[in-house]
Amino acid sequence: MAKTKSPKIPADLCYNYPLEWYTDANNVPNQQSQSEIIQWFSTGPGARLFAPIEILNLLYKQVDFVSQNIYDGDKVESHLTDLPLTDLQKHVLFGLILKKFGGYPIHLAEREQEKTIKRVEQLFLSGEKDSPEREFCKTDMDTRKEFMKLGLAFTTSIRTGIDVREILAEMDETTAEPVYRNFEDLFDDAALKGGVGPFHPQSRYLIERTRYNFTFNTWLIDHKGWPHGDEVAYRQFLNRLTFVEYLKYEKDQVALNNKLLAADKQRWTVGDTDVQAPDTETEDDKSVLVRKHLSKFIDLFNSGEELNRAITIITEFLNIAKVTKTKQIFVKNGSKRKFAYAFSQIWKETSNEAIPLKYLKLCKNSFSIFAKEDIDEKNYKSSNLYKYFITKT
């Protein structure tokens, strides 16, 4: 969809973060909603007004203002109506603010906060009558129903003393996707219906159930942000869909490990006539080597496809010193030094030379986690990035 010519947004209305900041779950935990917004303004109707980074920087600055003044409805309404934007730009912005507060019709737990956001809702609804944002910014009713169910369950528990888990279990019996009381019940149902197993004898079954419990819990910590020990939060993951997602992850990990083991075994296999010199490697060998090091960081990539792109970029450079010009790969923050050191290990295992500037620049330009690192080309070995590469942590 073509973008209409709109006046430039004043810089003081916006933040100045890169797109990668908004796609980092450490900064914005609700990445599902974030992906919807980015898609809407990339290829959807929102592209007629804003690029994704434009609306995100504008939106988050204004959401912060609303949050900081949420008990002063007059101030919020006056500020938003006076923004130097076109009527359509304001309409879209107001809708997205509502979306960040759960969508409209607005329903917040605290009444005074709700009064202020209701005023934003009125501004939005008084705008463009047939805009696509009227549908896009609506409340997800399934989410609202879930919050309603939890609220009723906890209120009943407080009033009656009945365990909230028992109340929720009874309520969940009417839903298509039951939430189980504990992991053992979830696993037993999965085994009964062929999702795992079969495991024989019974002692083997009990061992496997314990192993699955441990690996499922660690997966929740690493991939779902579950705070270990929070039983209330844990229970929301005890459902079929989450467990199937975990099983798929485990299957992919097993397949990856088997591939690496097979490739490693192949490198030790001696043919009947030809013995390959130990200091020569085929292109496949280098690809396997790169995969061995980078697959340890699979959780930092958005997908297995992104990991494979990274492997291709580095392998091509190792084979023919080719710098592939490609879209930067997003890598989550948190393990920058370890991630950098992996690239130095890849280089050391394929070359006897010092890490070259060209390789350092390739990594900086290819991976978002290194994008902000400065490199003085005349003295690149003094850069922090080079130090990260050569320092084991």
* Measured distance CA(358)–CA(102) in Å, rounded: 47
Three-class HEC string of the chain? CCCCCCCCCCHHHCCCCCHHHHCCCCCCCCHHHHHHHHHHHHCCHHHHCCCHHHHHHHHHHHHHHHHHCCCCHHHHHHHHHCCCCCHHHHHHHHHHHHHHCCCECCCCCCHHHHHHHHHHHHHHHCCCCCCCHHHHCECCHHHHHHHHHHHHHHHHHHHHCCCHHHHHHHHHCCCCCCECCCHHHHHHHHHHCCCCCCCCCHHHHHHHHHHHHHHHHHHHHHHCCCCCCCHHHHHCCCEHHHHHHHHHHHHHHHHHHHHHHHHHHHHCCCCCCCCCCCCCCCHHHHHHHHHHHHHHHHHHECCHHHHHHHHHHHHHHHHHCCCCCCCCECECCCCHHHHHHHHHHHHHCCCCCCCCHHHHHHHHHHEHHHCCCCCCHHHHHHCHHHHHHHCCC
* Measured distance CA(154)–CA(147) in Å, rounded: 11
Asked if 114 and 81 touch (Cβ cutoff 8 Å), the reply is no
For the chain, how many residues are written? 393
For 24, phi then psi, to 5°, come to -95, 120
Classify residue 235 by burial, with Cβ atoms within 10 Å: 0-12, 13-18, 19+.
Answer: middle
Q: What's the confidence (pLDDT) of residue 83?
A: 93
Q: Which residues contact 18 (CB under 8 A, 6 or more apart)?
A: 53, 368, 371
Q: What's the confidence (pLDDT) of residue 161?
A: 80
* Measured distance CA(191)–CA(240) in Å, rounded: 12
Fill in the amino acid letter for 336.
Answer: K
Q: What's the confidence (pLDDT) of residue 232?
A: 76
Q: What's the confidence (pLDDT) of residue 109?
A: 63
Tokens representing residue 157 in the block? 């528990």
Q: What's the confidence (pLDDT) of residue 106?
A: 83
Tokens representing residue 113 in the block? 């906060």
**Which mean pLDDT values do the consecutive 10-residue runs of the chain (393 residues) have?**
63 92 83 85 88 93 91 93 93 92 78 88 91 85 59 72 75 61 89 86 88 90 80 84 89 73 66 42 69 86 84 84 72 84 89 86 89 86 87 76
Structural domain boundaries of the chain? Answer: 11-139, 140-175, 182-269, 283-390
Q: Which residues contact 216 (CB under 8 A, 6 or more apart)?
A: 183, 243, 246
